[in-house]
Amino acid sequence: MLRAVLTGFALLLVLYGVRAGATQNTQMADARCHDYRELRRQLVEDYREEPVSTALAADGRLLQVFASEEFQTWTMLVVEPRGFGCLMATGRAWQDLEALGAGARA
């Protein structure tokens, strides 16, 4: 249950970010969007973040959360069908609910 609530909240953040981002100038939006394969490579190699959660949006975009157990960091991307990813949010203190013993309740 908790996992569903958190995933729903993350999707709301993404949708809000995409709508807010639509009003930003193109130069700023381009700075946050790159080839998905390159973003993934950097997250894995530089930050030791691996995909931990994925959701498909109604418009065909993919929401993907990467996290590092070692560094307790996380990154949220929205991946467009045409192959580029946009950085939506980053943070610290990532905790896996199952590792905390909340998996049975989530």
Tokens of 68: 């590092």
Beta-sheet strands, E only, within 1-106: 33-35, 50-56, 62-68, 73-79, 84-92
pLDDT band at 42 (very low <50, low <70, confident <90, very high): very high
pLDDT tens digits along 21-32: 444 444 434 558
Per the confidence metrics, is the pTM higher than 0.75? no
Position 30 scores a pLDDT of 53
Position 85 scores a pLDDT of 96
- What is the rounded CA–CA span in Å between residue 39 and residue 7? 22
Position 1 scores a pLDDT of 41
Mean pLDDT of all residues in 61-73: 94
